[in-house]
Amino acid sequence: MHNPGAGDLAGRGVTNPVDYADGKEASAFAQLLGGLIEANVVSRPEKLKDFHTLKARVGILVTDIGEAVTLDFEGGHLVVRNGLEEGRDVTIRADAETIMQLSNVKIGFAGMPNYLDATGREVAGKMLTGKLRIQGLVGNLTTLNRVTRLFSVA
């Protein structure tokens, strides 16, 4: 008998992986991020393990448009909320271009984000110059790596 807690992980796909707490009032940015993650999880089976094991609250603040979302990863389900909710494990702050650039970071050896190619070096450079800030990085590197893998379309 299979593990009933395995959910859709065992090759059966994912159904309704993303909900929007604000319903029809979900911001365009919330819908964009939720849609990106949903498309990745549904179409790329290699992302299922990360999606099913990730339990974290991740905030994303887009500095140039003043918009923010909170992503509540609930181990196989994602709830996207407008604004920054309390109790975040990680908060990413950057301009819209940089946030979307995170989806182009390639995943390399052992499932780690590749910061050695051109896109990865550019993202790393933005971290060094403060254009990309990640609060909660220390102690949450595994969470950040999983989120990066779920975002990545590369």
pTM for this predicted structure:
0.86
Q: How far is residue 130's CA from residue 104's CA, in Å, rounded to a whole number? A: 19
Contact present, 90 and 143 (Cβ < 8 Å): yes
**Which domains are delineated in the chain?**
15-151 (3.30.1050.10)
Closest CA to 150 of 72, 29, 15, 38: 38
* Beta bridge mates, 91: 59, 135
Amino acid letter, residue 25? E
R_g (Cα) of the chain, nearest Å: 15
Q: Tell me the per-residue pLDDT of 32-72, one tens digit each, with 9 for 90 and over.
A: 999 999 999 999 988 999 999 999 999 999 999 999 999 99
User: Per-residue confidence of the chain (154 residues) as pLDDT tens digits?
Assistant: 333 344 444 444 567 899 999 999 999 999 999 999 999 999 998 899 999 999 999 999 999 999 999 999 999 999 999 999 999 999 999 999 999 898 888 888 878 888 888 998 999 999 999 999 999 988 898 999 999 999 988 7
105: CB partners within 8 A, 6+ apart = 113, 114, 115, 119, 120, 123, 148, 151, 152, 154
Q: Which helix (H) or strand (E) holds 2?
A: none
Long-range CB pairs of 68-72 (<8 Å, 24+ gap) are 69/27, 69/29, 69/30, 69/33, 71/33, 71/34, 71/37, 71/147, 72/21
d(CA 136, CA 73): 16
Task: For residues 50 and 35, give the distance between their C-alpha atoms in angstroms, rounded to a whole number.
Answer: 17
